[in-house]
Structure 1
Amino acid sequence: MCRRFTTVSSLLLLTAGLAGFQSTQAEYGINFPPPAADVAQEIYDIHMLTMRIATFLLLVVFSFVIYSLYFHRKSRGYQADQNFHNTWFGNWSWVIVPALVLGVDLTIASNADTVLKKVWDVPKDEKLMDVKVTGHQWWWEFDYLDHGIKVESRYIPEEKAGDLYLREVDNRLVLPTDTKIRFLHTSADVLHAFWVPELAFKKDAIPGYVTETWSEINREGVFRGQCAELCGTWHSRMPLVVESVSPEKFQEWVNEQQAIKVATAAEAASTKTWSKNELMTKGKALYETKCAACHQVTGLGLPPAFPPLNGSHIVNGPVEGHLNMVINGKPGTAMQAWGSLNDLEIAAIVTYERNTWDNKTGDTVQPTDVALAR
């Protein structure tokens, strides 16, 4: 009866194991994402070589283990060899096995060293397109140095992003295919790290330093990454989205961005007196893009690091103090200087903050007021 029960149990376990194996077949294709650059492909190839070697060694080791468990088990009456350590293999296995392992390591390392040099050594004898990547708490800034374009990239809130929450941004990093691109990495505050797996590299952005990497994207597509350095409370809200397009489409995008830049500059430089409603509309959009990450859409902030603006003595105090805080920031705190915004943008944000939530100052700040405050 006991033997029969054991046999039935074994069959049930075998059946469950086969069923579990079949259910995992759908996930068999999970691996690194398909590379989008030649260097990334080389890294992928090293990964696959490592996995093949590891799988082969796993099979060899398990074969020995299974063989020993079956043929040397106690139920067969096998007696353990008490003098194995004095045999030829017993003496030399301590040298042979580590030597084989070292040989495997060196096989992988030699290829890896060559690829690493390609990743870190930026081509010097060719014309490259330069993109400066600046990490902020918690968003990315991309400067297309050859085109005079600046793009700010922030995560999209869950209600708008849906399934791509923390994987989608408002402005993607648009790059051309078949073009060597040099990335210049730095940070405005703490350590960040630019990481898009399909492009082959991960590079730290260090405050006060500029480091460089490069890539040449060989196909069109959308590639997602994220900040790979723990940079603070909202580290998870720093996704990266790269959209690669053909050189022709990229030039069209550049022309559009340059036209928007010219129109924005002209609008900000005009002497027009803006109505309160116009400033509130612009200010709401700008606040939710640039300020809400820290101070929240509700204006309640995240104390103590990010104080509330709703009911704030600065927001409800003199306009001059409010403008000074926005333009120059506050040293020693997370409040950075926003003087890089144009006069109209700052005027709109300040007007919105002073006339929303429970703040009802009634003030209307004009771009000329911001110009004087600078």
Structure 2
Amino acid sequence: MVLKANRLRKLALAPVLMLLSLASAGVLAAGGKVNQVNMSPGATEIGQSIFDLHMLIFWICVIIGALVFGVMFYSIYYHRKSRGVTPSTFHESTKVEIAWTVVPFLILIGMAVPATSTLLEIYDFDDAEMDIMVTGFQWRWKYEYLNEEGENVVFFSSLRTPQSEIRNAEAKGEHYLLEVDEPMVIPVDTKVRFLVTANDVIHSWWVPELAVKKDAIPGFINETWTRVSTEGIYRGQCAELCGKDHGFMPIVVNVVSKEDYAEWLDEKQAQAAQVSELMAQTFTLDELMERGETVYDRNCLACHGANGEGGVGTPIAGSPIATGDIDAHLEIGINGVPGTAMQAFGSQINNVEMAAVITYQRNAFGNNMGDMVQPIDVYNHKQGQGEN
């Protein structure tokens, strides 16, 4: 009797647990507020299609659950022993066998038709108006605009949330861990195809409101797309456990008017041209230190400390690397240290930034080496010359 009671209790709780799990999954998928109990259709037509499919399947499941549990509870109540009901004695019924085979088959067909239609829409990459290569790094995203008008527009997008908020020294901001220094920018009402890959480990590029979630796998290029109908700022995160700083890898997509996008594109191309010009320049120590501090705060501070004291990474202050051979210092900055948290920054920051941050590390935190590294030195090192 105890076993039967436990079994009935579990059956009674099953629909409640199912609804709770659906609600929690909807909140997570939508990236919505904590009191939101359903997923959001987002800002795209494909997102609306997915939402409509979700609601259709949801209500089909609700109806099936209500009918099944209704019949079950009706049978338990009206055919209980205390009413003097005598159990029927019968075995196989051809009609029942046919019914419970045909009815589920028809239900599954009814679900499969709209689901297949939506899947075909999701995987329709044709007629894209622009292409963007998305590459995952530990722990940032690289965006490369591949169309002719986006030539030379390549940049990294990194977490902008200050360390003071992460370490609970200050109150957390509205978009804690969901703000970046360089957001992706795309035009409204434009079909954008994303080519998603990774440089090191598996990541996943996920922006719920754009109905985009695609794994970024080293050595493979996966495709996905979006067409956003509403201007705005859309936020997401890496959805694959990619390492200890997995939670510090946000995504921000700014959807702007086509006119604003053209202006932004012109500005980014002008910046690329400016970097090319800077490559041929020779900077003073003060100029390198100023630029290098900015690069250090953005890329190095989290591991090596605000004062070069170390932490996750080794100390910079008094380091034999920062006070030793410049070539060895450049080698580590450019190619990293395999098997450690020290990444290869040679492809993540440009030659001007690399020269500045190496100079900064060699002259800040009491190191005071007096050394200067120029952009041409970084270029030569990458070419295997190692000239200083």
TM bracket (short chain): 0.7 to 0.9
CA distance in 2, matches of 1:48, 1:164: 29
> What is residue 22 of structure 2 aligned with on the other side?
none
Instruction: Say which of 145, 152, 157 aligns to 1:153.
Output: 157
CA distance in 1, matches of 2:105, 2:306: 57
Partners of 1:274 and 1:366 within 8 A in 2: no
* Number of residue-to-residue matches in the alignment: 339
> What is residue 314 of structure 1 aligned with on the other side?
321
TM-superposed CA distance for 1:296, in Å, is: 4.4
Letter in 1 for 2:287: E
> What is residue 82 of structure 1 aligned with on the other side?
87
Instruction: Say which of 182, 193, 203 aligns to 1:182.
Output: 193
Partners of 1:119 and 1:201 within 8 A in 2: no
TM-superposed CA distance for 1:183, in Å, is: 0.7
* Structure 2 counterparts to residues 124-139 of structure 1, below 5 A: 126=127, 128-139=129-140
Partners of 1:156 and 1:165 within 8 A in 2: no
Root-mean-square deviation over aligned CA pairs: 2.7
CA distance in 2, matches of 1:321, 1:47: 56
CA distance in 2, matches of 1:28, 1:346: 46
Distance 1:27 1:152, change over 3 A: closer
Distance 1:301 1:94, change over 3 A: farther
Deviates more, 1:318-327 or 1:101-110: 101-110
| 1:108 correspondence with 2:108 | no
> What is residue 142 of structure 2 aligned with on the other side?
141
Deviations 1:21-57 (Å, cap 9, x if unpaired)? Answer: xxxxx98753212322222211111001011112222
Instruction: Say which of 233, 249, 269 aligns to 1:238.
Output: 249
Instruction: Say which of 195, 217, 220 aligns to 1:209.
Output: 220
TM-superposed CA distance for 1:85, in Å, is: 4.7
SS at match of 2:83: coil
> What is residue 323 of structure 1 aligned with on the other side?
330
Deviations 1:252-277 (Å, cap 9, x if unpaired)? Answer: 11112222222233233223x312x3
TM (norm. structure 1) is 0.81
CA distance in 2, matches of 1:151, 1:93: 64
Distance 1:299 1:99, change over 3 A: farther
Deviations 1:88-128 (Å, cap 9, x if unpaired)? Answer: 5xx755653454334323322222222222222310xx352
TM-superposed CA distance for 1:307, in Å, is: 3.5
TM-superposed CA distance for 1:321, in Å, is: 0.9
Partners of 1:46 and 1:112 within 8 A in 2: yes
Partners of 1:138 and 1:293 within 8 A in 2: no
TM-superposed CA distance for 1:300, in Å, is: 4.7
SS at match of 2:294: helix
| 1:284 correspondence with 2:293 | yes
CA distance in 1, matches of 2:315, 2:354: 19
CA distance in 2, matches of 1:48, 1:246: 31
> What is residue 247 of structure 1 aligned with on the other side?
258
SS at match of 1:267: helix
CA distance in 1, matches of 2:364, 2:89: 83
Q: Answer with 1 or 2: which has the greater Rg.
A: 1
SS at match of 2:156: strand
TM-superposed CA distance for 1:334, in Å, is: 4.2
Distance 1:252 1:30, change over 3 A: farther
> What is residue 284 of structure 2 aligned with on the other side?
274
Distance 1:286 1:27, change over 3 A: closer
Deviates more, 1:114-123 or 1:39-48: 114-123
CA distance in 2, matches of 1:28, 1:97: 39
| Structure 2 residue ranges without an equivalent (≥5) | 1-32, 166-171, 383-388
| 1:55 correspondence with 2:59 | no
Distance 1:231 1:27, change over 3 A: closer
Partners of 1:184 and 1:213 within 8 A in 2: yes
Distance 1:41 1:318, change over 3 A: same
Deviates more, 1:171-180 or 1:350-359: 350-359
Partners of 2:275 and 2:352 within 8 A in 1: no
TM (norm. structure 2) is 0.78
SS at match of 2:233: strand
Distance 1:232 1:87, change over 3 A: same
TM-superposed CA distance for 1:358, in Å, is: 5.1
